[in-house]
Structure formats: structure tokens, C-alpha cells
Structure 1
Amino acid sequence: MSEVKIAVETRSEFGKGAARRIRRENKVPGVVYEFGLEPLHVSLPGHELSLALRTPNVLIELVIDGERSQLVIPKAVQRDPLKGFLEHVDLLMVKRGEKVQVEIPVQAEGELAPGGNLLEHVLSALPVEAEATRIPDYLTVSVAGLEAGAAIQAKDIELPAGVTLAVDGDEVVLQVLAAQAEEASADAEGDEA
């Protein structure tokens, strides 16, 4: 779990015009949400935020107006559909020890059984509940020796201490599919006979 410190400024202007002015200054408009409180509108440095968001489920310590700091995690990120630059970010305030629901990327390791089978990621990220300061970067799943028709369910994935599933345990995360080329050639051979 990586933690990044970013200095931000509160803002009082809202709307498209204000957002465009903020973006021209190489900053990103954002909103910080905390349960039961009014949202806090901020502007964040674009480059630092972009670097921080490269890590999934990054924990960000915001230094607000140089006075106080608050831990947040990204809730929603809006990017320009053509150029890809950050347009807006929603952040969720968290406290150390507080549990949050996030999606953790799933990485497969190992070689499938011989035969040219394909591995399908039904869920590329697994919804879990974890302490805000102990969110794993990714979950590793061994697929060594799995054959066509095999599936790995959410309950089969070993989770780190303090992390629990936020999805039904019977949900399929990875499955092994039979290679299509072999089936097509087998059908062609059957037709010739």
C-alpha cells in the first residue's frame, strides 16, 4: 500500500468556468466527501495527482491549505475521453483503522496445463473490505496446471490478514477455456471422416 502526500487548496468557485480556470493552472478540481459532513471542494496539483493515481487504491494524505492534513482514497476519477488528462476527482475521507470497500486487482501466476487453453479474467479486480491503511496493491492467484473447464472462485483466493470478501464467495474470478483452434480443427477432421 503506497501513501502519498499532496498539498491542496480549498476553493470557493464552482461550475464549468471555475473548473476550466483551475485546469489552465495545471490543477485538478476535486471534492472530498466525508460521511455526515458537507463536501470540501479543493484544487489539487495535476502532475502529483496523476502520479499518485497510477497506483490502484492509493492512500493520499491531503495537506489542506498548509494547515491540516486528512487521509483520503480515490472514489471516482474523470478523465478527458480523447486526451486522457484528469478533469475531476472525487475523494473519500478515511481514518486509520477504518474499514473501506475497494476493488483489488487480481494477478494470475503460473502456467496452465498443456493444450493451448486460455485463461479468462471474469473479474479483473476483486471487491474486498480492508482497513484503509492496509489495502493490498494486488492479489496473486496460482493457475499452475489448471485444465479447460477449471474455475477459481472468490472464496478460493487467499486474502491477507484483515481483508474480507465484499462479494459472494461463489463468484467466479478466473476460468480456463478450451482453445478454439483445437475445437475447430477437430470439427474439420470429423467432417472429413
Structure 2
Amino acid sequence: MSDTEKIQAESRTEFGKGAARRIRRDNKVPAVIYGHGNEPVHVTLPGHSTMMALKRGGANALLELDIDGTSQLALTKQIQVDPIRRTLEHIDFVAVRKGERVVVDVLVHVVGEAGPDTLVVTENNSVQVEAEATNIPESIELSVEGLAAGTQILASELALPKGTTLLVDADTLVVNITEQISAEALEAELEEAEAEAGIEREESDEEAAENAEAEASAEGDAEGTSDSE
């Protein structure tokens, strides 16, 4: 993330739910910038261009905000989105400087196809790292191409970009490749677990029909044997 998105921002002096609603009606977004021991800076951002910048920048988008003629690098920390309209409701930023190192969570992007009859289980879909604010990786790619069942990939085995330092425990399990279980084996394990827990499974319509058919067939065989005697 070497390039930063430039966004024109406006200082905000009105606060509260009413002021926030008025800002959103104008297709703008209320936001707050924290950090460096300063008082929080309240700003208003253009809705569409900010949304596009966040989509391009990913979870740790770095924006260059022009606040009334003053430039401020701001790292995205929390985004509130309307659950129905999917529009931006509010954004929290952390003020950063060029060359400053920051701690962020970066997504692990699993690519490739593991070996036959395997199941790829992602135990941790992100890892915490330290990187320069202007060079935060959008994601860390992890290939599982051709790997066999029983393979486990730890955080220490991730290929981190230059200048990025892993902060989580080196032995943290990221991906676990297991043997794929068949539907029959899965059903057998489920029945065994239910039996141990004392759970009686209700008979399905299909099972009931099959059992009824088997009973009828057994009765027919019994009657045929009796007649022959």
C-alpha cells in the first residue's frame, strides 16, 4: 500500500445524532481522527469517493485527508456501515506519519488446490503484524497447492513482505489440511456422538418407508414359509 488515496475533508463542529443524520443526507460521512496524544479531530468526508477509497485500500486503508488545507495521513481502524443500505455511517481513523510503524491485522489469502481427498481448514484468517504505515500489505498470500493431508502451516511459515514483522506467536496455526471425510463416515460419527449423548434421533420419512417395506417383506417371507409347511 505505497500509494495513499487523497480525500478532501471538512472540519466538523456539530455533533450528535441529529448532526450525523444531516451529514448523511448530504451524501457525506462523519469521521473522527485519533492519535499522537492530540485531541480527536472531527471531520466530514465525501461519501462516494471515501467508499471507493476504502474498497481499494482494504481493511487497513490509508487515506491522505486534506483538512482545511492541512494534510493528515489517517489509517482506517473502524467502519460503521448501514446494514440495509450498505452506506457508510461513521469512520474512526488513527493519525499516522510517514515512516511510522503501526500494528495491524492482515488477512491471510489462501490460494491453490490441496492434494486429493483433503479438506483445507483455515484456523486463523488474519495475523497481527507491524509494518510501515505507508507500506501495509493488503493481504498475505498462502499457497496450499498439492499439499497432503496432515500438513499444518504455522504463522512462522508465512511469506511476509519486506519490512513487515510478525507479532503473533510463531507457532500459531494458520491452516490445517486434513483428510476429507466421506458422507457415510460423517453420518456414522454423528450417530455415535448422539448415542453417547443419549440423543434419540427421530426417524425420517425415508427411513420409515424403508423400514416398513423391510417389515412387510419379512412378514411375506414368514407367511410363505408357514404355507409351505
Same topology, TM > 0.5: yes
Q: What's 2:93 paired with?
A: 91
* Whole-angstrom CA distance in 2 between matches of 1:175 and 1:167: 17
Q: What's 2:129 paired with?
A: 128
| Percentage identity across paired residues of the two chains | 47
Deviation of residue 35 (structure 1)? 2.4
Q: What's 1:162 paired with?
A: 163
Deviation of residue 185 (structure 1)? 7.5
What is the aligned-residue RMSD (CA, Å)?
1.8
Q: Give the length in aligned residue pairs.
A: 186
The answer to which of 83-92 and 146-155 deviates more is 146-155
Gap runs ≥5 in structure 2: 190-229
Q: What's 2:21 paired with?
A: 20
* Whole-angstrom CA distance in 2 between matches of 1:173 and 1:21: 44
Q: List per-residue Cα deviations over 1:134-187 (Å, max 9, x = no partner).
A: 111221112122222321111111211110112111111111132232662896
Deviation of residue 29 (structure 1)? 0.3
Q: What's 2:65 paired with?
A: 62
* Whole-angstrom CA distance in 2 between matches of 1:140 and 1:38: 38
Q: List per-residue Cα deviations over 1:85-119 (Å, max 9, x = no partner).
A: 1100001111111011112221222321112x221
Q: List per-residue Cα deviations over 1:1-57 (Å, max 9, x = no partner).
A: 141000000010100000000000000000011221100000000101111111322
Q: In structure 2, the residue corresponding to 1:14 is in which secondary structure?
A: coil
Which one has a bigger Cα radius of gyration? 2
Runs of 4 or more above 3 Å deviation: 185-188
Relative contact order higher in (CA < 8 Å, ≥ 6 apart) = 1
Gap runs ≥5 in structure 1: 189-193
* Whole-angstrom CA distance in 2 between matches of 1:52 and 1:183: 48
TM (norm. structure 1) is 0.90
Q: Say which structure is richer in strand.
A: 1
Q: List per-residue Cα deviations over 1:68-97 (Å, max 9, x = no partner).
A: 101111010011122221100001111111
Q: In structure 1, the residue corresponding to 2:108 is in which secondary structure?
A: strand
* Whole-angstrom CA distance in 1 between matches of 2:105 and 2:53: 17
Q: In structure 2, the residue corresponding to 1:158 is in which secondary structure?
A: coil
Distance 1:138 1:185, change over 3 A: closer
Q: Say which structure is richer in helix.
A: 2
User: 1:43 is aligned with what amino acid?
Assistant: T
* Whole-angstrom CA distance in 2 between matches of 1:130 and 1:9: 29
